[in-house]
Structure 1
C-alpha cells in the first residue's frame, strides 16, 4: 500500500531514541522528509546518520527543550524554512517520574505539566499556520494509562488524560482545515523507559527485572512486549494520506493488555 508520504515533511518530538526514533525510521523509509529533535545534539547526530543510511527521505535535526517556548518556535521556524511546510507532527515526551501523591511536590507537578501537556499545546499552536494552508496530520503520543491508570505513575496518569481531551476537542476545531488529529497510547512496548519502570518495580518487590517482566507479560494476552517498530507502523498509518477519515480517536497499541472498554 502506498502511504503517499514521499516528500511530505514530518516533525517528530523526542525522537533520538525509543518510540520517537522508531516512528522517524518508518517515515524515512516511506520517503518523507523527517525532522528529529531532543535536548541531546550528540544523540541526534548519531540518529540522523542512521536514518540517512535507510536511503529514504531527507533528515534534519535540531536540539530543542520542549519546555522552552522560544526553542519550540525556533524549531518549527527552521523546519518550515528548510522544507517549506509541516505536513505531519508527532507530539511525544518522556514520562515524568514515578511516585505517589504524597511524594509529589509543586515542582514535580509543574514539570510534568510543562513536559507532558503544555509542550503538546505549544507545538500544535506553532505548526497550525502552516497546516491550515494545506491540511495535515497530528499524532499525540500518550500512554495506556488514559484507559486504565497505572499504579505509581500519578503524574503520567493525570496529564496523559489531558492529551486525550485536547485531541478530542481539536479534532472538532481543526476538521474544517483538513487537519486530522489522533492520540496513540502505547502499552508495554520494549523501550528504555519501560525497562526502567520494570527495574524500579522489581526493586520494590525484591525480584529481578527479568522476573518482573515475565510477571507483566502474563497480563498481556499476546504474551509479550510490543516492538517499537510495531507501534511506529500504526502511527505512520494515521499520519499518512491513506488515513482520510479517522480523527479525534484514541488508539491503544498494547497487545490487549488494557481490559477497559
Structure 2
C-alpha cells in the first residue's frame, strides 16, 4: 500500500531512540523527508545514519522540549533544512516514577511544561502551514496510563491524559482544513524506557527483572511485548494520506492488553 507520504516533510520528536526512532525510520522508508529532534545529537545521528543507509533523507536537530524559549528558533532551523512541515509527531519522554500524593509543585510544573505545554506550543507553530495548504497530520504519542492509570506513574497518567482532551478538541477545530489530530497509545513496547520501568518495579519488589517482564508478558493476550517497528507501522498509517478520514481518535497499539473498551 502506498501511504502517500513520498516527499512530505515530517518532524519527529524523541527520534534518537525507542518509539521516536522507529517512527522516523518508518516515515523515511515511505519516502518522507524527516527532521529528527531530541536532546542528544549523537543518538539522533545514529537514527540519521540508519535512514541514510536505507536511502532516506533526514535532518537532525538538538531540541530540548523543556526549553520553551527555543521553539521558534528550532522550528525555523527545521524549515530552513527541509521546508514547511506537513507531518508532526509529538513524542515526549516519560517523567520519573512517582506516587500521586505529596509531589513538589515545581516537579509538576516542570513536567507539564516539557510534556504538555511544549507539545501545544510546537503544534501551534507548525499548524498554520498545514491549514493553509489544507493538508496536515498531527500525531501525539501518549501511554496506556491515559485509559488505565499505571501505579507509580502518577505524573505521566495525569499529564498525558490532558493531551488526549487537547488533541480531541483541536481535531474538531481543524478538520475542515484537511488536517487531522490523533492520539496513538503504546502498550508494553520493548524499548529502553520499558526496560527501565521493569527494572524499577523489580527493585521495589526485590525480585529479578526477568520475572517482572515474564509476568507482564503473561498478562498480555499476545503473550509478548510489542516491537517499536509494530508501533511505527501504525503511526505511519495514521499520518498518511490513507488515514484522511481518521481524526480525533485514540488508537491503541497494545497487543490487546488494555482491558477496557
**TM over 0.5, yes or no?**
yes
1:80 — aligned with what?
79
Give the CA deviation at 1:206: 1.2
Note the alpha carbon deviations across 1:194-249, whole angstroms, 9 max, x for none: 00000000111111111100011111000000000000000000111111100000
Check conservation: 2:35, 2:82, Cα contact below 8 A.
Answer: no
Secondary structure of the residue aligned to 2:242 is coil
1:4 — aligned with what?
4
> Given the two structures, how large is their TM-score scaled by the length of structure 1?
0.97
Q: Which runs of 5+ in 2 are unaligned?
A: none
Q: CA separation in 1, counterparts of 2:99 and 2:172?
A: 35
Q: CA separation in 2, counterparts of 1:146 and 1:129?
A: 28
Q: CA separation in 2, counterparts of 1:103 and 1:16?
A: 33
> Given the two structures, how large is their TM-score scaled by the length of structure 2?
0.97
2:38 — aligned with what?
38
The ranges of structure 1 where at least 4 consecutive aligned residues each deviate by more than 3 angstroms after the TM superposition are: none
Check conservation: 1:65, 1:72, Cα contact below 8 A.
Answer: no
RMSD of aligned alpha carbons: 1.0
Q: Which runs of 5+ in 1 are unaligned?
A: none
Question: Is 1:51 aligned with 2:51?
Answer: yes
Q: CA separation in 1, counterparts of 2:180 and 2:96?
A: 31
Q: CA separation in 2, counterparts of 1:84 and 1:215?
A: 46
Q: CA separation in 1, counterparts of 2:82 and 2:255?
A: 37
Q: CA separation in 1, counterparts of 2:196 and 2:89?
A: 23
Give the CA deviation at 1:179: 0.5
Q: CA separation in 1, counterparts of 2:109 and 2:202?
A: 28
Note the alpha carbon deviations across 1:13-70, whole angstroms, 9 max, x for none: 11100000000010111111000011112222222112111112x1101101112223
